[in-house]
Structure 1
Amino acid sequence: MRILWIFAHPERRSLNGSLLDDGLRALSAQGHESRVSDLYRMGWKPVLDAADLGGTPEDDGRLLVGAAQERAYRADALADDIRAEQEKIAWADALVFQFPLWWHGPPAILKGWFDRVLVQGLAFGLRSPDGRALRYGDGGLAGKRAMVVTTVGARASGFGPRGVHGQVDEVLFPLLHGTFWYTGMPSVPPFVVYGADRLTATGYQRYADELRERLRDLPTAATLPYRHEAGGDYDDALVLRPAVAPGRTGLGVHRRPDGARERERAAAVSGSRGVRGFRGFRG
């Protein structure tokens, strides 16, 4: 399997940096290929602007971002750093996104990666031959899978079903569902390191071992069972039909009761195709 690992932490001598090193060694030992986009080391520009898109506004002088992205993408006129990341995506079978959870979301530099790289015409804004919009289970990144690796300062209980911080899958819903699933990528459950600021060496080793196991299972692990937009559960207004999860509301209604379809897909994809010293516990 070919894995693109997008790393968004400003300090390589951190807990996140050590997990990255352990993860890459595990992938190599398991026979996988990997590439890394270390956004801070790359000096990644996080802000989308007209210069990314050939600097050509619409006829009336306004920059219509989606249309300009698609035009530049099809003309091979996107900025060089964007095209380089898109080439990595095309190469990869799976994408791992690693970041510390800041203010219940990823650092701005990673948000900027999404804004600039996942352009209209490549990741979204596509249609089937019959004119149907390809999104939420379909889209330009369909056939790949995604995984989040993140660290938080809080205890696990605070991110539990009744925790003050919110259920972790729902905290990450904009990423897992609104970015990955929207563009066609199913996501395995996120790998979360809790209590990052007070993690001991023993605790780190436990998480490192778990990460190695999660990466070993990445090609075939069951993914989050989000409903397909085109699967019949939603009406023409993109609202769940009354017979689907009757009486329920909230983000959980967008998940099917079981992940049977994703397990079958994972099996189909699978059929087709030593630890360095720890350097610090700061998240």
Structure 2
Amino acid sequence: MHILIVHVHPEPQSFNAALTHTAVHTLEALGHTVEVSDLYALGFNPVAGRNDVTQAADPAFLHLQREQKAAFERGTTAPDIVAEQRKLTRAELVIFQFPVWWRSAPALLKGWFDRVLTVGYAYGAGRVYATGGLSGRRALLSVTFGSPTSPEEAREVLHQMQDGVLAFVGFEVLPPFVVGGPRSLTVEERQAELERYRDTLAHLALGAPLERSLALS
């Protein structure tokens, strides 16, 4: 299995980075291939607009979805977007690793959704949910909250992203992996959370259900 990790955190020594390193080592040890798209390290531009295409279909008025569709059909999508789309196309499982900020994803990830999940490539007329452009792939949100959280709160916060974005473009969305308040945890508790993630990924890689994905902190 080939896995893409979309990593979104500005600090290389963060707990999110530790979770990404854990995922890479765990999955590679199980014989899978892993690719990491570190959006901060890449300097990925999250702002959708004219620069998303190399040749405008309508130079007089920007209708982003029409431009995306035309660019997909003509092969004029911006190179940085195409690079991310190719990573998605290669992947059988996509893990989104990020901290929850203001009960949502960081702006960089939201911008990645805006620019990469384009009309034509990821969805279109009659191509949503089960028939979306990324059908046949699975998606996992691996996230941290700034403080301890309940499974109910995590589901409420993540629902729109899981259903309104990922499921909409065809992903089979797995239960999220959630760690609440990693900064307040002891070293031993953080190690226990990393071990829980290893166990979750091992079960996932073997095709077993993700029964331990939500921390009850």
> Same fold by TM (over 0.5)?
yes
Cα shift at 1:201 = 1.0
The CA distance in 1 between the partners of 2:208 and 2:66, in whole Å, is 36
Structure 2 equivalent of residue 139 of structure 1? 132
What secondary structure sits across from 1:63 in the alignment? Answer: coil
Structure 1 equivalent of residue 194 of structure 2? 208
More helix by share: 2
**Bigger Rg, which one:** 1
* Structure 1 gap segments, 5+ residues each: 127-132, 162-166, 224-283
2:148 to 148, 151, 155: 155
Letter of the 1:5 counterpart: I
Paired residue total: 209
Structure 1 equivalent of residue 95 of structure 2? 96
The CA distance in 1 between the partners of 2:189 and 2:196, in whole Å, is 11
Structure 1 equivalent of residue 13 of structure 2? 13
Structure 1 equivalent of residue 184 of structure 2? 198
Letter of the 2:147 counterpart: A
Structure 2 equivalent of residue 76 of structure 1? 75
Deviations 1:70-116 (A, max 9, x none): 11112111111111111111111010000000001111111111111
The CA distance in 1 between the partners of 2:42 and 2:91, in whole Å, is 19
* Structure 2 gap segments, 5+ residues each: 211-217
- TM-score when normalising by structure 1: 0.71
Query: Moved runs in structure 1, 4+ residues, more than 2 A?
Result: 217-223
Letter of the 1:28 counterpart: E
What secondary structure sits across from 1:62 in the alignment? Answer: coil
Deviations 1:3-26 (A, max 9, x none): 000000000111111111111100
Structure 1 equivalent of residue 170 of structure 2? 184
> Do the aligned residues in 1 keep the contact of 2:50 with 2:62 (CA within 8 Å)?
yes
> Do the aligned residues in 2 keep the contact of 1:188 with 1:221 (CA within 8 Å)?
no
The CA distance in 2 between the partners of 1:214 and 1:39, in whole Å, is 24
Deviations 1:45-84 (A, max 9, x none): 010111212251527x111111110111121111111111
- TM-score when normalising by structure 2: 0.91
What secondary structure sits across from 2:173 in the alignment? Answer: coil
The CA distance in 1 between the partners of 2:76 and 2:40, in whole Å, is 24
Cα shift at 1:160 = 4.2
Letter of the 1:214 counterpart: T
Structure 1 equivalent of residue 215 of structure 2? none
Task: Calculate percent identity across the aligned residue pairs.
Answer: 38
The CA distance in 2 between the partners of 1:146 and 1:211, in whole Å, is 15
Structure 2 equivalent of residue 111 of structure 1? 110
> Do the aligned residues in 2 keep the contact of 1:188 with 1:218 (CA within 8 Å)?
no
Give me the CA root mean square deviation.
Answer: 1.5
